[in-house]
Amino acid sequence: MRDRILALVCVLALVTAGVGLAAGTQSTPTVGVDAPNAVAVGGTASASLVVSDVADPDGVGSFTVNVSYDPSVVSVTASGTSTFDVETSTPAPGVLRIVGYTGEYPGPNGTVTLAALQVDGDSAGSSTLDASVETLTDADGDALSNTTTGESITVTSSGPNDPGDDTDGTDGTSGDTGGSAGGTTGTASGTADVSVTSASLSATEVTVGESVTVSATAENTGDADGSVDLALSIDGSDTGTSRLLDVPAGETRSGSVTTTFDAPGEYEVAFGGVTAGTVTVTDDGSAPTATPTPSATPVPGTPTASATPTASASPTSSPTEQTPSGAAQPGFGVLAVLLAALVAAGLAARR
């Protein structure tokens, strides 16, 4: 009997340890900036806002991330990807706030590029590109726990006496940082040719006050990075709402804005000079307030029977089962019951 008890204890201990080990091996997503080590003054480096180790089966659905940097050394802009639409703002000097979401379900997981970044070298020095997460959710809207990491970038000068020596691969022809004549991350010579190719609406029938997302896709067929100002117009009139979309050479980017309508009707919507479609707006459909029905006037002389109030039964509160302080946890409670049963069985066998 003693051998059986010891065997059972060992099995339960191994199961408990295995569950704890499995829970401990789950990875935590890490958000950070993936950027080259250096860029020349006046040069441009392509970078990315990335989250890695996303194991959630629903994938990444939305995010709000602040990228901070030294504005005296570099400037940073962001644009969307084929998976995420993004909007940006600058709440403070040296802080770029990036808000993004995807319409995919489930969203992407593993290592995910959230936004494309462009880092411009403004003056010689170094800057750390830090990511600070406000929100990170899966495609169901549930928060994803996360950690963050930073990336350092150095801005190198290239003066008249330093046309780009080749001591560490920084010459203007093929170096990592590029020089005034170009390079993999330097400013490319050429011309940008950016055009808006399509525009779309998230909904064509809404109620008054309901938001509609208007999106546009732009393509750069030139050989230099460029940008386009996407202006929102309704019924041919400029609304004053717009967003600047950066489009790298030879690539396609998408951007969006949201708008609402204050009155019912049909509205022609265009974004970036391209028609997105017609939105039909109806009233909110709220039910009218019911007019109270006047109570009947009693006939004179007719006694009015006063209703005898019915005493409402006080609900019987069921006693709350309190767990005594120091009570065993559920898993160990089961183990205690099993051990007690085995010990009792052994005592009974001896008798």
Nearest to 196 by CA among 178, 215, 181, 209: 215
Sign of CA dihedral 74, 40, 152, 80: positive
* CB-count burial class (<10 Å; 0-12, 13-18, 19+) for 168: exposed
CB of 37 within 8 A of CB of 168? no
Half-sphere exposure of 99 (CA within 13 A, CB side): 8
Tell me the helix, strand and coil percentages in the chain, rounded to 5: 15, 45, 45
Q: Per-residue confidence of the chain (351 residues) as pLDDT tens digits?
A: 556 555 554 545 554 554 444 444 567 999 999 998 898 988 888 999 999 999 999 999 999 999 999 998 899 999 999 889 999 999 888 999 999 999 888 999 899 999 999 999 988 899 999 999 999 999 989 999 999 988 888 988 754 333 333 333 333 333 333 333 333 333 446 899 999 999 999 999 999 989 899 999 999 999 999 999 999 999 999 998 988 888 999 999 998 888 999 999 999 999 999 999 999 999 976 544 445 555 545 545 544 444 444 444 444 444 444 444 444 444 445 555 555 566 566 655 555
Range list of β-strands (E), 146-211: 147-148, 150-156, 194-201, 205-207
Q: Residue 20: what are its φ and ψ, rounded to 5°?
A: -65, -40
pLDDT on residue 3: 60
Nearest one of 313, 294, 244, 309 to 86, comparing CA atoms: 244
Print burial letters for 189-225: b (CB count within 10 Å at least 16), e (below 16): eeebebbbeebbbeeeebeeeeebebbbbbbbebebb
Task: Give pLDDT, residue 157.
Answer: 76
* pLDDT reported for residue 147: 92
Nearest to 178 by CA among 280, 293, 45: 45
Give, for 32, the enclosing helix (H) or strand (E).
strand 30-34
Instruction: Provide the pLDDT for residue 220.
Output: 94
How far apart CA 100 and CA 113 sit, in angstroms, is: 11
Half-sphere exposure (Cβ direction) of 131: Cα atoms closer than 13 Å: 28
Map residue 23 onto helix, strand or coil: helix
Please, what are the domains in the chain? 30-156 (2.60.40.680), 194-282 (2.60.40.10)
Q: Nearest-CA neighbor of 33 among 91, 82, 76?
A: 76
- Side-chain half-sphere exposure of 54, counting CA atoms within 13 A: 25
Element (H, E) at 267: strand 265-271
Tell how strand 226-234 and strand 265-271 pair up.
antiparallel
Show the 3-state SS of 313-341. CCCCCCCCCCCCCCCCCHHHHHHHHHHHH
pLDDT at 286: 55
Give the C-alpha separation, 314 to 249, whole Å: 75
